[in-house]
C-alpha cells in the first residue's frame, strides 16, 4: 500500500531566464512502485526521509539506499530505483531545469557522478519541499517565481545536509574566515592547518564549492566594501586592513572583481558622517540592535471608583 501526491508545472520562457524553474513536486510514502528504467530530460532531486531501497545506474548495478539520503536524477543518465517492497520509504521529489544548473554543477551542488548521496539530516530539505508544495496551488499567481526561487533554496539545503560535509571541514572554513584579512598566502593557511596546499584546496572546494583563493578573496573584498562604505579611511589604509600591503594592487584587484574602483564604490555606497561616528571601524560580527521604545506606563496610584 502506498500514497502519492504530485503537481507538475509548465513555466514560460521568461521564467526560464530567471535561472531555475520548478517543473514538478511530489510527496509519496509506502511500498511505492519501482521507477524505470528511464532517462529524463531534466533534473530531479528525490529526498528520502525514512526507509530504504536501491538505485541502479547505466551499468545496472544496484546501490543500497538508506534514509536519510538524496537521489540525484540528472538529464541523459539512465536510472532505475525503488524502495524495499516490505518497508517502503518516504520521499519528496522536486523536478527542475534552467541555465543555472550548469553553475550549480560547477560549484558542486549538483553531482551527476554521484547519484546516491547520504544525508546527515533530511529535515532542512524536506522543509523546502513542503514550501514548494504549499505554493503549488493552481490559483497561485506567483507559482512559477515562488517555486523557482525555492529550487535555489533547496539546492543550498541539500548541500548543507550532506553527511560527508563534516564539522572538521567547517572548522577549516571558520579558521580561514577568521584569518582571511591577515597578510597570508594560501600556502601559509595550509601550513597553519597542517595540510598541503592541495589538501586545503580539496577541503575548501568540497565544502564551499570554490578554491581557497576565491574563498579568501570574497571575504577580503566584502570587508573592504564595509570599510569603504562606513568609514573615511584612505584606500591605502583599507587595503592594509584586509591584507594587502600594496594599495595599487588592491585597487586593481578590487576594480577587476567588483567592476568599479574603490573610490567610486565609496562614492556610491558611503554612509559616513564627517566629524561624527565615521572614524569607528564597523564590526561585522556585532550589528546594531534597534530597540523599540516601550509604551509609557501609568505610574499614578490606582484610585478606586466612588461608591454610592
Q: Are residues 10 and 155 in the same domain?
A: yes
- What angle is formed at CA 271 by the lines to CA 265 and CA 277, rounded to 5 degrees? 130
The parent domain of residue 275 ranges over 168-279
CATH number at residue 47: 2.60.120.280
Q: Are 65 and 82 in contact (CB under 8 A)?
A: no
Give the pLDDT confidence score for residue 307 in this predicted structure.
Answer: 43
Give the whole-angstrom CA distance, residue 157 versus residue 143: 20
User: Quick check: is 154 in a domain?
Assistant: yes
Helices 212-230 and 167-179 pack at an angle, to 10 degrees, of 40
Helices 262-269 and 212-230 pack at an angle, to 10 degrees, of 50
User: Quick check: is 258 in a domain?
Assistant: yes
Give the whole-angstrom CA distance, residue 265 versus residue 175: 28
User: Quick check: is 303 in a domain?
Assistant: no
105: its cell numbers = 554543477
Full-model pTM: 0.79
User: Quick check: is 215 in a domain?
Assistant: yes
Q: Are 68 and 49 in contact (CB under 8 A)?
A: yes
Q: Are residues 143 and 248 in the same domain?
A: no
Tens digit of pLDDT per residue, the chain (308 long)? 779 999 999 999 999 999 999 999 999 999 999 998 999 999 999 999 999 999 999 999 999 999 999 999 999 999 999 999 998 999 999 999 999 999 999 998 999 999 999 999 999 999 999 999 999 998 999 999 999 999 999 999 999 998 876 655 578 888 898 999 998 889 999 998 899 999 998 888 888 878 899 999 999 999 999 999 988 899 999 999 999 999 999 999 999 999 999 999 999 988 765 554 444 566 666 666 666 666 655 555 554 444 43
Q: Are residues 198 and 238 in the same domain?
A: yes
Q: Are residues 156 and 186 in the same domain?
A: no
3-state secondary structure the chain: CEEEEEEECCCCHHHHCCCCEEEEEEEEEECCCCEEEECCCCEEEEEEEEEEEEEECCCCCEEEEECCEEEEECCCCCEEEEECCCCCEEEEEEEEECCHHHHHHHCCCCCCCCCEEEECCCHHHHHHHHHHHHHCCCCCCCHHHHHHHHHHHHHHHHHHHECCCCHHHHHHHHHHHHHCCCCCCHHHHHHHCCCCHHHHHHHHHHHHCCCHHHHHHHHHHHHHHHHHHHCCCCHHHHHHHCCCCCHHHHHHHHHHHHCCCHHHHHHHHCCCCCCCHHHCCCCCCCCCCCCCCCCCCCCCCCCCCCCC
Give the pLDDT confidence score for residue 288 in this predicted structure.
Answer: 65
Q: Are 204 and 215 in contact (CB under 8 A)?
A: yes
Q: Are residues 142 and 15 in the same domain?
A: yes
User: Quick check: is 88 in a domain?
Assistant: yes
β-pairing, 62-66 vs 89-97, is unpaired
What is the phi-psi region of residue 143: left when phi exceeds 0, alpha when psi lies from -120 to 50, beta otherwise?
A: alpha
CATH number at residue 252: 1.10.10.60
Give the whole-angstrom CA distance, residue 255 versus residue 247: 12
Q: How many domains does the chain have?
A: 2
- Tell me the sheet residues that pair with 145: none
Amino acid at each position: 500500500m502506498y500514497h502519492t501526491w504530485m503537481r507538475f508545472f509548465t513555466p514560460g520562457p521568461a521564467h526560464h531566464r530567471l535561472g531555475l524553474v520548478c517543473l514538478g513536486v511530489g510527496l509519496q510514502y509506502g511500498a511505492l512502485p519501482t521507477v524505470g528504467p528511464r532517462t529524463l530530460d531534466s533534473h530531479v532531486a528525490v529526498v528520502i526521509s525514512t526507509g530504504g531501497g536501491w538505485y541502479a545506474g547505466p551499468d545496472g548495478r544496484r546501490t543500497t539506499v538508506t534514509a536519510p539520503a538524496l537521489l540525484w536524477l540528472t538529464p541523459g543518465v539512465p536510472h532505475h530505483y525503488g524502495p524495499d517492497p516490505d518497508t517502503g520509504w518516504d520521499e519528496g521529489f522536486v523536478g527542475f531545469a534552467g541555465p543555472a544548473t550548469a553553475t550549480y554543477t560547477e560549484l558542486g551542488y549538483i553531482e551527476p557522478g554521484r547519484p546516491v548521496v547520504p544525508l546527515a539530516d533530511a529535515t532542512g530539505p524536506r522543509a523546502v519541499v513542503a514550501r514548494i508544495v504549499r505554493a503549488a496551488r493552481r490559483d497561485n499567481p506567483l507559482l512559477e517565481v515562488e517555486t523557482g526561487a525555492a529550487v535555489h533554496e533547496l539546492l543550498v539545503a541539500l548541500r548543507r545536509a550532506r553527511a560527508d560535509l563534516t564539522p572538521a571541514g567547517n572548522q577549516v572554513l571558520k579558521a580561514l574566515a577568521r584569518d582571511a584579512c591577515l597578510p597570508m598566502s594560501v600556502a601559509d593557511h595550509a601550513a597553519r592547518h597542517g595540510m598541503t596546499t592541495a589538501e586545503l584546496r580539496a577541503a575548501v572546494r568540497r565544502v564551499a564549492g570554490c578554491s581557497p583563493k576565491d574563498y579568501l578573496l570574497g571575504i577580503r573584498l566584502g570587508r573592504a566594501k564595509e570599510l569603504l562604505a562606513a568609514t573615511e579611511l584612505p584606500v591605502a589604509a583599507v587595503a592594509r586592513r584586509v591584507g594587502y600591503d600594496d594599495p595599487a594592487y588592491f585597487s586593481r584587484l578590487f576594480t577587476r572583481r567588483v567592476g568599479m574602483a574603490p573610490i567610486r564604490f565609496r562614492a556610491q555606497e558611503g554612509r559616513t558622517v564627517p566629524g561624527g561616528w565615521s572614524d569607528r571601524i564597523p564590526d561585522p560580527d556585532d550589528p546594531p540592535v534597534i530597540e523599540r521604545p516601550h509604551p509609557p506606563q501609568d505610574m499614578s496610584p490606582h484610585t478606586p471608583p466612588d461608591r454610592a
